Amino acid sequence: MQPLNLDKLREAVRAGNIEWRKHVLQRMAERNISQVAVLDALLLGERIRDYPEDKPFASVLFLGYDGSRPLHVVTSLDKTAGQAFIITVYEPSLDVFEADYKTKRKT
C-alpha cells in the first residue's frame, strides 16, 4: 500500500472533511486535548512515522505541539472520498520516547 499523501490529508483537514470518532473525542476530553490542537498538529506538525500497511487506509503519526505540550496524532485518509480519520491522540511519554518525542526508546 502507498504511504499516506500528506497534501491530500491536509486538503481534507482544511476543508473540514474529518471524522472524529466518539472514542477519540472521549479520550481527548479525558486528556484535555482540544480539536484545535489536533488540527494544528495535522496542518503544522511533523510527520514522524508511516504505517502504509494499516487497513482500511494507510495511516501516519504526527508530532505537534499545544503550546509546549507535545502531542501525537495518528490519522488516516480515504483519498477517494477525501475524508480524514482521527484514529488516536495522546501526549507522548518520555518513558516510551526520547526527548525529541519522535524516537522510540530502545527496550
The 10s digit of each residue's pLDDT in 52-98 is: 999 999 999 999 999 999 999 999 999 999 999 999 999 999 999 99
Q: What is the mean pLDDT of the chain?
A: 94
Residues 6+ apart with CB under 8 A from 65: 41, 45, 71
On the question of pLDDT at 2 being above 80, the answer is no
Q: Which three cell numbers stand for residue 94?
A: 518520555
Q: Could you tell me which of 15, 75, 2, 69 has the C-alpha nearest to residue 42? A: 75
Contact between 40 and 89 under an 8 Å Cβ cutoff? The reply is no
On the question of pLDDT at 4 being above 90, the answer is no
At 14 the three-state DSSP class reads helix
pLDDT confidence of residue 66 = 95
Q: Which three cell numbers stand for residue 17?
A: 472533511
Contact between 71 and 91 under an 8 Å Cβ cutoff? The reply is yes
Query: Span 34-49, mean pLDDT?
Result: 97
Domains of the chain: 6-90 (3.30.2310.40)
Q: How far apart, in Å, are the Cα atoms of 35 and each of 5, 39, 57, 97?
A: 22, 6, 22, 23
pLDDT confidence of residue 1 = 66
pLDDT band at 3 (very low <50, low <70, confident <90, very high): confident
Name the residue type at position 90.
Y
Q: Which residue has the higher pLDDT, 11 or 1?
A: 11
What's the pTM? 0.92
